[in-house]
Amino acid sequence: METRSAKRKKKLHNSTTQTPETDHEDRISNLPDDILHQIFSYLPIKSIAQTSVLSKRWKSLWYSFPDLDFTTVNTLANASIATSSKTGKRSRPHAPKGSEYVDQISSLLDKHSDIRVLKFRAFLSFSRLTCLIRHAVKHNVQELDVEVSTRDYFNFPRSVINSDTLKSLRLKSWHPGFRLPPLEIMKDGFRSLCKLTLSRPVLHDQPSLVDLFTNSSFPLLKKLHLEACFGLKHLRVECPVLEDLCLESCFQLQDLEISVRKLERLRVSSCFDSFCFGSRVRIEAPKLESMVWSCNAVTEECVLMNLTSLHEAFVGFFLLQENLSEAKILSVSNFLTGISCCHSLTLENHCIEILCKSNRFAGISLGPFYKLNSLELSTGFNKHNNPGLASLFRSSPNVHTLIIKITSVRKAEQRQWNKDLWQSPSSGEERYWESQTQYLQSFLRHLKVVKIHGFIECENDVSLVKYLLKHGKVLQEVFLGTSLSKPRDSLLREKIRSQIMGFSRASSNANIVFQ
């Protein structure tokens, strides 16, 4: 009679000598289609297509894969203008390559089931482009991403306007651009569109889009991105559920009006005509949280209303060499006052220089930034900027963190700090800052962290550091990052740092860090 221990030993022996059938199973092929589609989404389209030769099962997976991203094939780069190795001259793209490529995609669309995503880049004719997009719309495409280059201007494909399934559309023309249909046709379409990106449309014949993005148009649009709109002069945006708006490189823009109750993020970069008279911007967005206003020419009129939810703002202006008019100086002041509810503010690209441009600024006051906790400035640090800096400090009574990035400074302004100057009663910069003490009491009572990047150890920046250490009652850290582009004698640098370490401090917790 076999004992229990013998049975256990026999069972253990059998389990170690026999290989289970499951070790030979194709577990991946047995996964559900949706999981395999998810795995496919991490692979380039070429690798996904190659799986179709494995079996009938994998062939059906390829033909049912809903996300067709052909941008990894990079045919636009392959078909772009090439340089002949023999002549060194630029030659036209070989059109048949793009045509064959489009024919292959069209053939695949006919074999696939409903298409969720279609992305492609190509050099092709307008007729083939419209044919391909028509195929995509026929297969209920939800996201269409098209990046093309053509031999001539082409018209916006009308087949996408009345699509009931299209939710995301990105259309970019590298060369030479595309034209939009009449506004009355565009206005009645895109009823299901949630995201729209148009890059390089040519609007010389219709320079105004004030009637396109209205309350009745694009009822579901949440994200709108307009880039390099040639000829666009007037734009009004009132889409009812829009949350994210981005305008880039619309250099000829003269009039911008935004009135969107649900807008949360706004980015306007490299826009507005510097030589235009009567340029205007008007923004009303009570739920706006993040705002980037970068490298834009100063408009002559600025009205910002109800930006009560603004949390962070990045502001930079494009400034030409000629003198600013009083209207433009007032416009900058109105802009900064309009964003005074923000918690974090970054000022770049000539903001301080504009505020200090002329004595006329003395009659213009900024609104208080009561909620501001973090202030970051980029400036060419010199004594002429001190009034602008002081004005910002006065208007920021509750700032905890101050970050200053020193950009290039003219040699004439680089008066070197030295021991004799330190031992003298005071320099001109020190006297100016001391004269502002009574106006900066609240600022000095709240400031905890000061970071200066590009610290060049000259009179301008050292005087400010000395002043903040002397009056900053709750200062905890002063970080001074030395400019790598302005090398100094190491012995002189050590002397200056030793002098800074010897400055009197209102806060016993103030720690000075050099880098």
Per-position pLDDT tens, the chain of length 515: 555 555 555 555 555 555 454 455 667 777 777 787 777 777 777 777 777 667 777 776 777 788 888 887 755 555 443 333 333 433 333 333 556 667 777 777 777 767 889 998 888 888 888 888 888 888 889 999 999 888 888 889 888 998 989 999 999 998 888 999 888 888 888 999 999 999 999 998 888 888 899 888 899 999 999 999 999 999 999 999 999 999 999 999 999 999 999 999 999 999 998 888 889 999 999 999 999 999 999 999 999 999 999 999 999 998 776 667 888 888 988 999 999 999 999 998 678 878 776 545 445 667 899 999 999 999 877 777 888 888 899 999 999 999 999 886 555 445 555 545 444 546 678 888 999 999 999 999 999 999 999 888 788 888 899 999 999 999 999 999 986 655 556 777 788 888 889 999 999 999 999 98
Strands (E), 163-274: 168-173, 178-179, 195-199, 208-213, 223-227, 234-237, 244-248, 255-259, 265-269
Through-space distance between the first and last CA atoms of the chain, rounded to whole angstroms: 84
- Residue 140 CB neighbour total at 10 angstroms: 15
Q: Quick one: pLDDT at residue 82?
A: 34
Q: Quick one: pLDDT at residue 172?
A: 94
Answer for the pair 503, 423: CB distance below 8 angstroms, yes or no: no
Answer for the pair 202, 224: CB distance below 8 angstroms, yes or no: no
Query: How far apart (Å, rounded) are the C-alpha atoms in residues 410 and 384?
Result: 12
Query: How far apart (Å, rounded) are the C-alpha atoms in residues 254 and 277?
Result: 8
The contacts of residue 14 (CB under 8 Å, 6+ apart) are none
What phi and psi, each to the nearest 5 degrees, are found at residue 221? -70, 125
Which sign does the torsion angle of CA 216, 219, 222, 224 carry? negative
- Residue 14 CB neighbour total at 10 angstroms: 9
- Residue 79 CB neighbour total at 10 angstroms: 21
Query: How far apart (Å, rounded) are the C-alpha atoms in residues 457 and 507?
Result: 22
Q: Residue 440, CB half-sphere, CA atoms under 13 Å: how many?
A: 21
Answer for the pair 342, 315: CB distance below 8 angstroms, yes or no: no
Q: Quick one: pLDDT at residue 2?
A: 55
The contacts of residue 193 (CB under 8 Å, 6+ apart) are 166, 167, 168, 169, 218, 220, 221
Answer for the pair 224, 203: CB distance below 8 angstroms, yes or no: no
Q: Quick one: pLDDT at residue 96?
A: 37
Of 165, 109, 97, 98, nearest in space to 135 by CA: 109
Question: Residue 273: which H helix or E strand, with range?
Answer: none
Query: How far apart (Å, rounded) are the C-alpha atoms in residues 440 and 66?
Result: 61
Answer for the pair 504, 466: CB distance below 8 angstroms, yes or no: no
C-alpha distance from residue 100 to each of 94, 234, 388 (Å) = 11, 41, 61
Q: Quick one: pLDDT at residue 94?
A: 37
Q: Quick one: pLDDT at residue 283?
A: 98
DSSP 500: H
C-alpha R_g of the chain: 31
Query: How far apart (Å, rounded) are the C-alpha atoms in residues 325 and 338?
Result: 20
Query: How far apart (Å, rounded) are the C-alpha atoms in residues 42 and 64?
Result: 16
Answer for the pair 298, 354: CB distance below 8 angstroms, yes or no: yes
Q: Quick one: pLDDT at residue 3?
A: 59
Answer for the pair 154, 127: CB distance below 8 angstroms, yes or no: no
Q: Quick one: pLDDT at residue 412?
A: 41
